[in-house]
Amino acid sequence: MPGIQRRSFLAGLAAARALRATPNTPPRPAQNLDGRLNLIEIVVDTWGAHYMGAYGYGNLETPFADAFAAKSTMFLDCYSEILPTVPVRRVLSTGRRAFPGLLVDNPDDPRFRGWHSLFVEDVTLSEQLRSVEYRTALVSDNYHFWKPGKNFGRGFDAVHWIRGQEEDRYATGPRAGIDINQFIHPSQNVPENAGLLSWLFTYLIARRQWQTEDDWPTARLFSQAMTWLDQNVTDQQPLYLHIESYSPHEFWDPPEDYYQAMMRVPYTGPRLIHPPDSTSVLNPAEIAHFRALYQGLVRFVDSRLGQFLAHVEELGLMENSIIVLTCDHGTFQGERGEVHKGEGLLRNQLTHVPLLIYDPRQSPKKLSGLVQHTDVAPTLLDLLNVEIPSRATGRSLRQYVESGDSVPTQYIVGGWDNHGFVRTPEWNYIDRWNPGEAYLELYDVRKDPLETVNLVWDQPALAADMRNKLMQYIEQGREYVQGTWTNVLDDPFVTLIP
């Protein structure tokens, strides 16, 4: 596998140190004529709080994100409202709740509730900012965004798609020369995994074209974002740049030096870039190996994030821009034998996400109190003094960003497909909200922050109360997840599932 140049790796670390050391770089471009702030929003896939050093779990140092957190308002208790990828983006785009969501049967896999395009009635963050004369751009390597029927480019003056992630079919060629057994565990080479094997071949055919670190989609993503800033920063028009980084989502396939920096034990087996869902079939070296792949990919994303933020600072944009960094969800890395994600795994390793908001007018601070993705768009619009659309159901957190007070929240509700969670400052409850086999769990997060001991059968009254909260949220929210699409329901290949 092609490696990266050592000097590039070291240059990235130097950039992180510079980011810490030079917080007051004089602005190069002129301020926007009307004094309005720019907005740069960075959303990363599968990088939960557990693998961002600033959140203190100790699983991994992430120097770039940590340096940025030290300058920002850091929300300590942010959680997803709906999972996974596409439903989260609908919430982040609109500030409107999406759980439990509609289930749509169409040619796009996967088929999860809420996994569909934006509604006609939705008003996105980009549309709202464009309506007040912001220049807007989307730079994304999240291939789900440009699948047929998706419309996540709404409201953007410029849209840049970066190709090559997962099963993005942008390259073709023979499978000759690709030994699939070099990328899967023997337990995965079974007929039930035909879909996974097909994805792998699609990815590896495109992967053959990458020769240096700069060829990875993540590198091209942040490079394109820097280019857009260079081309637009001096026009004195307020800017909104939205960056979508699909990595460190699977496949966990970092440049070689980043993997080697994380790998601590000898290993000579296949490169498990999409390991099995359970560690029960893996030996200790294989577990260490896939963790090193994921952690190496996180460090690679962190490095490129740092280069981007260093460029933002060079342009003087730290002086007149709000910058936000968040994620859709985390991932399991062998905790309780579980790997990846799933609708029954709504514990904090999956649902606890970073939320960092840098505002040049505010001092850095850490805020406790439960918040969710629904609150992000309303908060950003409020900080920019732009009207919050009436369809948004989230709340603005501006007063807490400015005051430093903790966010008073009794409980939050969220979920994935048929399962939901209710989280309070003391407890996390997981249950199925419609008929079927349930994952039924209850954790005392004060005594058991990693949520390992299920107390649901020891606390029947509390579990019943949490169940009521979940079902009330579901019933009260059915109207919120409704809407119409343009031409979609006229498509003979699309049906709405009750």
Average pLDDT, stretch 313-324? 97
First and final C-alpha spacing in the chain = 47
Q: Please compute the mean of the pLDDT values over residues 156-170 and round it to a whole number.
A: 95
Query: What's the average model confidence in pLDDT over 164-177?
Result: 91
Eight-class DSSP state of 50 = G
Enter the tokens of residue 412.
Answer: 């939050």
Query: What is the C-alpha separation between 129 and 114, in angstroms, rounded?
Result: 24
Q: What is the pTM of this model?
A: 0.92
Q: What's the token pair of residue 360?
A: 């040049």
Residue 494 DSSP SS3 = coil
Within the chain, what is the greatest distance between any pair of CA atoms? 63
What mean pLDDT, rounded, does the chain reach? Answer: 91
pLDDT level of residue 376 (50, 70, 90 thresholds):
very high
- Percentage, residues of the chain above pLDDT 90: 84
Q: Domain 6-410: give its CATH superfamily.
A: Alkaline Phosphatase, subunit A (3.40.720.10)
Q: What is the DSSP string of 186-216?
A: GGG-SGGGHHHHHHHHHHHHHHTT--SGGGS
Interval 1-30 mean pLDDT: 45
Q: Are 240 and 134 in contact (CB under 8 A)?
A: yes
pLDDT surpasses 50 at 21: no
Query: What is the reported pLDDT for 33?
Result: 65
HSE at residue 183, side-chain half, CA atoms within 13 A, is 22
What is the per-residue pLDDT for 492? 43
Decide: 155 and 130 in contact? Cβ < 8 Å: yes
The full set of domain ranges for the chain reads 6-410
Does position 209 have pLDDT exceeding 70, yes or no?
Answer: yes
Which residue, 175, 218, 163, is CA-closest to 200? 175
Q: What is the pLDDT of residues 381-392, one digit of tens each?
A: 999 999 999 999
Amino acid identity, position 443:
Y
Residue found under tokens 């904090």: 348
Cβ-contact 201, 193 below 8 angstroms: no
352-358 and 412-416 as β-strands: parallel, antiparallel, unpaired?
Answer: unpaired
- What is the share, in percent, of the chain residues with pLDDT greater than 70? 91
- Run of H or E residues at 349: helix 348-351
Closest CA to 427 of 459, 392, 393, 389: 459
pLDDT tens figures, 281-298: 999 999 999 999 999 999
CA dist 281 to 184, 326, 344, Å?
A: 12, 33, 20
Q: Indicate whether 26 pLDDT > 70.
A: no
Q: Residue 12 — very low, low, confident or very high, per pLDDT cuts 50/70/90?
A: low
According to the 3-state scheme, what is the secondary structure of 377-419?
Answer: HHHHHHHCCCCCCCCCCCCCCHHHHHHCCCCCCCCEEEEECCE
Number of other CB atoms surrounding residue 66 within 10 Å:
19
Contact call for residues 46 and 63 (beta carbons, < 8 A): no
Q: Mean pLDDT across the stretch 124-130?
A: 98
Spatial neighbors of 354 by CB under 8 A, at least 6 apart, are 47, 48, 49, 52, 54, 55, 65, 69, 74, 75, 78, 325, 326, 327
Residues comprising the chain, all counted: 498
Residue 465 burial (10 A CB sphere; 0-12, 13-18, 19+): middle
Model pLDDT for residues 481-496, shown as the tens digit of each residue: 999 887 544 444 445 5
